[in-house]
């Protein structure tokens, strides 16, 4: 999987914008939710950070924050380094599935990365995220999700394909996306909310949902 991302690192952001019809609202919702932390956001962990897109969007709203970006693909992190010149950022080449950097963090964020894990590992990640968040800290997961039933999933995928084609995505680009997504392990929203509750999060919610894309969030109770 990492080899495939390395090969597309230079064009990854363009493809992401083309293949997420709700791109601006999706990322905008994630950025807004980081402000739910119960105290100023001083330290942020970005999991599966890729080219640094989400951190770059967050940084202007949190100019005093220090960001830690974790990704297992060196080519992606190189793109992030170039993008984030002038931002207080540390880059860690590693898989977030194997462990997280030591906290505490005021926010842990991730975009379109957790769906690469199976459900057991997703739930375990929620627990690890809780262990590195400061009290009152927020977790924001901008994610690709599965519909609740196979029939609804078929409709959801059909609607996504139609929207992508309407935005100018070519058949070749769609075929390449289908190939990448064949290995995805997406989960419905409901169990992901429950995994957060089980890990000790409160105010658990999915305030944004547009077809295949949802923003899932929770925060730790304050002390």
Exposed, middle or buried, 96 (CB in 10 Å: 0-12/13-18/19+)?
Answer: buried
Task: Report the C-alpha gap between 54 and 110 in whole angstroms.
Answer: 8
C-alpha distances in Å from residue 145, one per residue of 48, 142, 156, 205, 209: 16, 9, 10, 14, 9
CA 185 to chain centre: 14
pTM: 0.92
Q: What is the pLDDT of residues 130-145, one digit of tens each?
A: 999 999 999 999 999 9
Helix (H, G, I), strand (E, B) or coil at 161: helix
Q: What is the pLDDT of residues 160-213, one digit of tens each?
A: 999 998 888 888 888 888 888 888 999 999 999 999 999 999 999 999 999 999
The proportion of the chain whose per-residue pLDDT surpasses 90, expressed as a percent, equals 78
Annotated domain spans of the chain:
2-219
What is the pLDDT confidence band of residue 6, given thresholds at 50, 70 and 90?
Answer: very low
Both structure tokens of 141: 């997961």
Nearest to residue 141, comparing CAs of 152, 131, 130?
Answer: 130
Classified by CATH at the fold level, domain 2-219 comes out as: Rossmann fold (3.40.50)
């Amino acid at each position: 999987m990492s080899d495939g991302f390395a090969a597309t690192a230079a064009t990854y952001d363009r493809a992401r914008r083309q293949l997420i019809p709700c791109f601006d609202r999706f990322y905008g919702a994630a950025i807004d939710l980081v402000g739910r932390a119960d105290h100023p956001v001083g330290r942020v962990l970005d999991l599966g950070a890729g080219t640094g897109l989400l951190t770059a969007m967050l940084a202007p709203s949190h100019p005093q924050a220090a960001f830690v970006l974790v990704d297992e693909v060196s080519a992606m992190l190189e793109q992030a380094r170039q993008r984030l010149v002038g931002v207080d950022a540390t880059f860690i080449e590693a898989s977030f599935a194997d462990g997280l950097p030591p906290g505490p963090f005021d926010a842990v964020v991730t975009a379109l990365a957790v769906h690469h894990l199976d459900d057991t590992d997703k739930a375990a990640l929620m627990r690890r995220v809780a262990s590195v968040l400061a009290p009152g800290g927020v977790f924001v997961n901008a994610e690709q999700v599965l519909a609740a039933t196979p029939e609804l999933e078929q409709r959801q995928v059909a609607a996504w394909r139609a929207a992508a084609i309407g935005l100018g995505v070519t058949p070749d680009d769609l075929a390449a996306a289908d190939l990448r997504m064949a290995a995805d392990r997406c989960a419905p929203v409901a169990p992901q909310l429950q995994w957060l509750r089980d890990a000790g999060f409160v105010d658990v919610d999915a305030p944004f949902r547009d077809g295949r894309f949802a923003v899932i969030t929770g925060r730790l109770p304050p002390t």
